[in-house]
Structure 1
Amino acid sequence: MTAGQRRPERRAAVLGSPIAHSLSPVLHRAAYQALGLDGWSYDRFEIDEDTLPGFLGDLPEGDWAGLSLTMPLKRAVIPLLDEISETAASVEAVNTVVFTDDGRRTGDNTDIPGMLAALRERGVEKVDRAAVLGAGATASSALAALSRICTGPVTAYVRSEARAAEMRQWGERLAVEVATADWADAAFAFSAPLVVATTPAGTTDALAASVPDLPGTLFDVLYEPWPTRLAAAWADRGGAVVGGLDLLVHQAVLQVERMTGHTPAPLEAMRQAGERALRGRTAEG
């Protein structure tokens, strides 16, 4: 720190690998600006499972307010924390660490309530059945969210029996009625009133041609590139679409509130900052 620089009042950051394209700094910094937290800073660090313990151990006590975590750290961080919330424990995933005034490290998961908030914003509060495309870590968070709003079965479309077994186990753990089906039949998912796509970029492109007229709601967790072919086809056929930026913003809102103590966090300012950043990336591309 050079002479004349103001020492940050509190620090926060996002950790993960890879992390270079994370939008979290854009969202959190926009929140700090809107809240008038001029002394707060938010950075990004390339950290994996091997370097995480050393990074946490070297943090100066009292300087740091919290951390956002992305893959592959959401599970690896758990043994390094003093406590985690019930929400985080339900899916064995922590995406938020808050440092308390007494020096404790507490873990939470804002992905699950962020999903619910994003759906609620689009008018989806209850469904009688749903479908999930994919079976990774995001799919388990989707099941946790669906456990709170879906009154009937959830069908997970997966590529292997091992993945199917994992989803059924998550269903039992989360008290969700989970049926599994082969990925080759994924187009049948589109009859459900809510479809959650949790797969990597490009995976659902071939399904775009199978979207029916007037489908229900699609929650596609990707935000870049956007729209995905599936999301574009869904909107073209009159369906409601919730995107990955919606999820990212809503979970970041909850992180800001937990780390700063300021409630409510500035949702619209954060959303607009995220949209500007994505437009800028598209223009550069």
Structure 2
Amino acid sequence: MSANVNPKVALVTGCTNGGIGYHIADEFAKREYKVYATSRRVETMDFGKSPRANVQTLAMDVTSDKSVQSAVDEIIKREGKIDVVVNNAGIWMVSPLIDTTVDQAKNIFDTNVISVLRTSKAVLPHMAARKKGLIINIGSLSGQVATPFSGVYDASKSAQHALTDILDMECRPLGIDVMLVATGSIKTNIISNAAKSSGLPSDSLYKSFENKILGRLQFIQNDPGAWTAERFARELVNRADRPKPPKYWSDGGPAWTVYLLRWLPRPWVLSIVWKSLGA
């Protein structure tokens, strides 16, 4: 790798080994960025097998104001700037709405939505001072077309999409770019907490749907159109590295199907989705 005396600096959240964030951080490093890969616990990240020495790991809990600000302050202290932030950390959950506890819902929204506000509040003053920067929020197709039995997750991604659109408009006078990525099916090596579920509560009104609901956990792995996390990271960084990154990008798995569904009357869409994933 050739020496770069003034490399761009990227901060990526949710970089647990094998996940999307891990591969995004690794891909930025291939492009000679100085990368700060973060996760709640440093020991969940291992870039030791990579020949790239330009990946640093930091502990950052995206649900903590103090932790986010501390990590950003540390990067600014070391590098003097942050060029790119990728808000990737998130929680997926498969459960009927009424079987989801309020605490679970709060945790999902805190991780998937409020964390974007936290990191933005921490990095935007530094980017605005230079009138330069890029914020990338990793959303989901589920934020555009809701699906049964993943309601709180879908609602959180819908809220994240709205927040990103607003952030984009409000960042324009500051000279900062904002990019929304609505992911389709992306295969990773991470087993979701939802996949460890022993099933529905014994008194659930949806016991007769249990096999269908638990089958949702294997949907991505069984989707023939699913992308690998490595491919997704490569395509994402290709776009992020452009002089003018796109405002929106979506691909992987059923991305084009969802695009077409959005043009249909909403009652039709809900009927199609229910027959495909619920009934």
The TM-score normalised by the length of structure 1 is 0.38
Indicate the structure with greater helix content.
Answer: 2
* Greater relative contact order (Cα < 8 A, sep 6+): 2
Structure 1 or 2: larger strand share?
Answer: 1
